[in-house]
Each structure stands twice: as C-alpha cells, then as structure tokens.
A and B are shown apart, each in its own frame.
Chain A
C-alpha cells in the first residue's frame, strides 16, 4: 500500500488545483473550470488507486442522486417560467438566452458581487436555523457591520492587512453584539427572536440614515447623503491584482465567504458546540435531557449568527462600495433567508445557492436591458425554483401516483388475461 503514503501529495495537488481554478473562474477566466476538473480527477484518481472502483462508484452515485432533485426543480421552474412568458406574449427563448448569458458569462462578475453578501447572510440564517432559531433580522446586523466598517475604514490608519483584519473582526463582533439584547431576551424571558431581531433590523436601518449624515458628505454640501470614502489602505484586495483580465470590481470577499462556509461547516459537524447546536435545533427537550445547556448555546448561536451577517456588511463596504450610502435598499438580509432555505441550511450548499441567486439577479438585469422583458419574471422563477427544490415530497408523491396508475393498469391487463 505505497499509495496511501502519497495521500498528502494528492490532496495538496487537488486543493491547489481547485483553488487556482476557483480564483481563475471568479476572475472571469472560464478555463479555470479545467483546473477544478483536474482537482476532481486527482482526488478520485487517488481514491481509485487507494481503494477500488466499487468504493469510488458508491461515493459518487449517492452524490449524483442528491443533485437530481435540485436539477429537476431548476429545470421545471425554468419551463414553468417559459410557459408564463409565452402565455403573456414574451419570447422565452430570447429571455433565457439573455438571462443565462448575462448571469454566467457577460456579467459573471456582477453575479459574484451579488452573491458575496448573500453567502454571509445565508450562512448566518442557516446557522441560526440549525439551532432552531429564525434570525429574520440579518438585515439589521448587515447594517451594523456596514456602519462599523465605514467608521473604522475612515479612521483606521494601520498597516493594510492588520487594519482590514481588525475591521472584519470588530465589525463582526459589534454586529454580534447587536444581537446581544435579542439573545438575552430569548434566553431570559423567552421573547421570540423573530420579533426582537426584526424590530432591531428596522431600527438599524433608520439608525444608518443618521449615521450616514454624521459621517461626512463633501464640502460642497450637494451630495451629503453618502459618507466620506474609506481610506485606500482599507480596501479589500481584488482579483484584478492576481489576474489582470478579471473585472476590476470583483473583490476577494467571495473567497472569505467560502472560507467562512467551510468554517461554519466545521463548527457544525466537527465540534461539540456544533453537535449541541444541532441537537437543540432538532429537539430542545431531548437536548436538555442529554445535559446540554440550551440557554447558553442558543445565546452563543444567535450572537454567532449576528457575527456572520455583520461580515456581509463589512465585506460590502471594504470590498465594493468603499463608503456607505443612505437608504441602501439592500435586502441582503431578507434574500439570505431564501438562500439558506434553498441550501437546506447546509453551509456548503449556501455558497452555491448564493451564487445561483447572484446569477439570476445579474442575468435578470441583463435580460431586461437587452430584451426589455420585465425583470419580475425572474422573481417568479426564483420562487418556483425554491418551491420545487425544497419540496422534495412532491417527487415521491408524484412517483407514488405514477406507480399506482401503472399498477392498476397492470392489474387490469392482468385481469383481461
């Protein structure tokens, strides 16, 4: 068994190839796909060499099966959308060409930019859901993160990496602290987090208006409802500095998002804390019976959810906007709910659902621009997609129906004989 000794080599190669591929892909170099493919091949090659064909097969087939329903759901939603468009007098083929070309190719950079904050808010909501909590107020924590990042971005004048690191940590922590009162109330008085975090979200939105006015505006006073820009040194790195062909606006926030997703995944599935969280989410009383401290864990979970959502705001400010606008109308917190649900609250899944949502948004804009078909059709498709992917039971129900029909037919033909 020489091959197992080479395990680290294979793994390192696969990971490097994967990372290079992802970075290239996010820099709009689509041939990065081949590196990702290479990573996969290396990985499965190793598996094949280390074990045998059967194990590899048994690895892959259930995975493909898991992907079946999302794919069916997506295609069905697309077909239903096409029917709606055709019925109302628009050309669906033209629309979809534009939608996917815009989302995946032409404005792929915008898809990533759209997806970046959604990864964080999606993670935040998914994590809370795992603990049986509904962090409906991620929008508010997003605003807090953005405000902190703006304030620190303007005032911090430290070595670039250090100050960025501090901005992220402090932004996240203060956003977490914003969930302190809801968490405390939840544990002490049982006040439902849906009420408290939602109210806090509304409060944060209006506080941000006051904040923006307090943080500058230019001397001419003609443009006062935007803060001063943050210092150049506090800007998040962009893909363009690695690959010149990348879109100049795309920043590495998405990689931080992927890193966070892996971290959350690790916490949830590899640590005791994660185990306790999931146990509480599944059944509070049973968890208590096992000797898990429900109050403490819920408290921490809600704070951590705030931390994650705060990162969304921080990334947006240091990565993209470099200043904060009044009445952002962002909605990343609300959209994060769909992203989390679509991923069945799985942290890794959130990356992909956020990207999907980003693609649909960016592609939808491109579609409206080039074909003048109303963008709202994309919202409808999104809703149907969410519905069809998450409602797995529909498929077994349909399956049963068909089976039964076939069954009776067979019986009948059998009777005829």
Chain B
C-alpha cells in the first residue's frame, strides 16, 4: 500500500502535463473549429501531417524551430482541405474528416518511401526541441506547480499560452464572437453582414494549426524522429476530450489533463506492481476512467446549435 501512495508525487503531475499536451492542443483547436459550426474528426490526420512535415523540415534544414513552423503550417494547409470540402463544397463534415484521416496515413507513408527510401520511421533529426527545456527563473522553484508549469519544453509553454489565447479569442474578441455566432446562429450572422464562410474557414484552419503543433510536439519535441502510428489515436482521444469538456476550451484542457493523468498513473501502477494482474488491465485504465468521468462527472452539455449543420447561401455576385 505504501508503494501505492508513493505514486502520487510531483513527477506524476509533470508526466501528466507531458502526456496531455498533444491532446490538449488538438482538443482546444477542435473546440474553436466546432464553435464555428464545423465538426472536426480529422485531428488525427492533421497531427500526423504536422508531425511528419515538422521532421522533414527539421531534417533538411537542421533547425527544429523551422521544423516547428513547418509542422504547424502543414497542419493548417491540410485542414484547408477540410474547410474547402465542408464549407465551400458542403460535404458532410464527418465524411470529410474520415477522408482526411485516410489520406494522411497514405500520404505520409508514400512520402516516407520517397524521402527516406523506407516506411516505418524517419531518420532522426540533428537537434530536437526537447533540448530547449527552459526553467523560468523564480517561478520554477514553486513546489509542485513549478516543475509542472514552469520547467518545460517550448511547445508545452506554447500550449499554455494558446489555451489562454483561445479563451481570450473566443470570449473577448469581436472575431471570436462572430466565430461563435457562425456556430450558433449562422443566418443571424450573415444578416449583419459577416461572412459565415469566412468564420468557418478561420475555425477549421485554427484547428489545423493547433493539431499541427500537437503533431510537431510528438515528433520533434518529445522525440527526434517521425514514426508511423506515433499519434496512436491521440486525435480521437482529443475528440473525446473536447466533447467531454463540453465544447469549451477550458473544459477540453481539463479533460485532456485528466486523460494524461490516468495514463501517467497507469504506467506507475505497472512499475509498482500494485496488483498482480495482466499489464493490459493497467493499459485500459485510462479508457475506463474516461468513461466513468463522462458518465458521472460531466454535466449534460450541448454542442454549438448549428454544429455540423451545413450553411449554404446563394449570392448574386458568386
């Protein structure tokens, strides 16, 4: 039993942050996307694209920061496909998302053969972002919270800033207000002269940028190479986090943290061999915990009113 309590230490919380960061980023991005009225199940695909291109660019330039930019841009560009498909071509949002996920697997595998001559894993990049861990003087000395929030690697810091930024954007800015209106009352928005299409494009692309960053985190910060399947369903977990977070940025963050915590916790349960049961039982713990949390803790929440509903407007000028 002593071993069991030894699990609960600062390291567990730090690991929680590390494990939840990619999920947080993708989930917060998806929240913005869905606030604008576009359902997004393609975070997995966008993450893969982001992760892959981050490595490609970092590999050929030798600069992880350029890789970071490349990964984010790749996520954004790839998400444009979703935007064009759902907004301009009025394709069903789930269909488009599914297509993007399929495409990303194929494209990455195909390109990997072209660039590196073999699928599976890329060659390692010279320098990763993991080496840029930076302790903020003073703040990092705070017990528990210091190591959690103020002694991390660049993209983790960015994720904190982006959460605050997303909150501010959605609540306090005019564009954010319009974006939310595009997901709640698109017709009303259009009547006051704001283009719903533009808002929805914006929402999707922001989501793509966030997911691309999440991918870059996996490939060039947490690791130094891209591996097929390295996203390992995190895009879908992010989807779950966004929904159980009640379609809010803060809720998504909390849900992602919860999942990261459960995962970090199960790893430590295995190490301490708290119970003599098959390892798989520990591995499924985060999933069970998520179901329980969703069942018991999360209040009834609803998506934006016009979420997933196509908006078509006929203009004379075309």
Q: Shortest CB–CB separation between residue B289 and chain A, in angstroms?
A: 9
Q: Is the CB of A386 within 8 A of B95?
A: yes
Beta-carbon contacts under 8 Å, B234-248 to A? 236, 239-240, 243-244
The verdict on A337 contacting B284 (CB below 8 Å), with A374-B110, A380-B110, A404-B318 known, is no
From B113, B280, B284, B288, A376 is in contact (CB under 8 Å) with: B113
Q: Is the CB of A386 within 8 A of B99?
A: yes
From A185, A199, A378, A400, B287 is in contact (CB under 8 Å) with: A199
Q: Is the CB of B105 within 8 A of A379?
A: yes
* Chain A residues in 8 Å Cβ range of B103: 379-380, 383-384
Residue in A194, A195, A387 whose Cβ sees the most chain B Cβ within 10 Å? A195
The verdict on A341 contacting B110 (CB below 8 Å), with A195-B243, A206-B284, A209-B280 known, is no
Asked if A394 CB lies within 8 Å of chain B CBs, one says yes
Give the docked Cα–Cα distance between A209 and B88 (Å). 45
Q: Is the CB of B318 within 8 A of A194?
A: no
Interface segment among B186-194, B198-206, B217-225, B291-299: the answer is B291-299
Asked if A292 CB lies within 8 Å of chain B CBs, one says no
* Chain B residues in 8 Å Cβ range of A194: 239-240, 243
Give the docked Cα–Cα distance between A400 and B92 (Å). 20
Closest Cβ neighbor of A388 among chain B residues:
B99
Q: Shortest CB–CB separation between residue A189 and chain B, in angstroms?
A: 6
Beta-carbon contacts under 8 Å, A81-113 to B? 84, 88
Q: Is the CB of A380 within 8 A of B107?
A: yes
From A136, A200, A206, A338, B102 is in contact (CB under 8 Å) with: A338
Closest Cβ neighbor of B114 among chain A residues:
A88
Q: Is the CB of B288 within 8 A of A191?
A: no
Interface residues of A, count at CB 8 A:
44
Asked if B174 CB lies within 8 Å of chain A CBs, one says no
Q: Shortest CB–CB separation between residue B231 and chain A, in angstroms?
A: 14
From A190, A198, A210, A387, B281 is in contact (CB under 8 Å) with: A210
Give the docked Cα–Cα distance between A376 and B110 (Å). 5
Closest Cβ neighbor of A338 among chain B residues:
B98
Proximity bits, A179-203, B CB within 8 Å = 1, else 0 = 0010001000111101110111011
The verdict on A383 contacting B287 (CB below 8 Å), with A191-B298, A198-B236, A199-B240 known, is no
Closest Cβ neighbor of A386 among chain B residues:
B99
Asked if A390 CB lies within 8 Å of chain B CBs, one says yes
Asked if B278 CB lies within 8 Å of chain A CBs, one says yes
Q: Shortest CB–CB separation between residue B28 and chain A, in angstroms?
A: 17
Asked if A391 CB lies within 8 Å of chain B CBs, one says yes
Give the docked Cα–Cα distance between A374 and B228 (Å). 15
Give the docked Cα–Cα distance between A185 and B288 (Å). 14
* Chain A residues in 8 Å Cβ range of B100: 383
Q: Is the CB of B92 within 8 A of A393?
A: no
17 extra interface residue pairs, beta carbon distance < 8 Å, beyond A189-B300, A387-B99: A181-B291, A185-B291, A189-B295, A196-B295, A203-B284, A206-B284, A337-B98, A341-B92, A341-B98, A376-B107, A376-B113, A380-B103, A383-B100, A386-B95, A387-B91, A393-B90, A397-B88
A-B contact pairs, 7 of them (CB 8 A): A196-B295, A198-B239, A337-B98, A379-B105, A379-B106, A380-B103, A383-B99
